[in-house]
Amino acid sequence: MVGIKTNFLLICLLVNNMAQQWYRMRTTYPDFLAICTEQKVASFLSCAALGRETNDATFFFEADKNHCRWNCTFIFRTGVSDGNIEWRKYEIESTKNSAPKKTITSSSVYGNAYHDWSPKYATDSIFQSGGIKIFHSANETSPWIMVDLKDVTTVIYLRIYVRMDGLGERFHDVAVEVANSSSYIQRGFYKGPAMTQEVVEILCDDPTNARYVRLRIIHGSRNVLNIAELEIYTK
pLDDT tens for 20-62 read: 447 888 766 556 788 999 999 999 999 999 998 999 999 999 9
Whether the bond between 143 and the residue before it is cis, its omega within 30 degrees of 0, is no
Neighbours of 78 (CB within 10 A): 7
Burial class (CB in 10 A: 0-12, 13-18, 19+), 163: buried
Give the pLDDT confidence score for residue 206 in this predicted structure.
Answer: 82
Q: What is the pTM of this model?
A: 0.87
In the chain, what are the domains?
Answer: 2-93 (3.50.4), 97-234 (2.60.120.260)
pLDDT tens for 75-85 read: 997 655 545 55
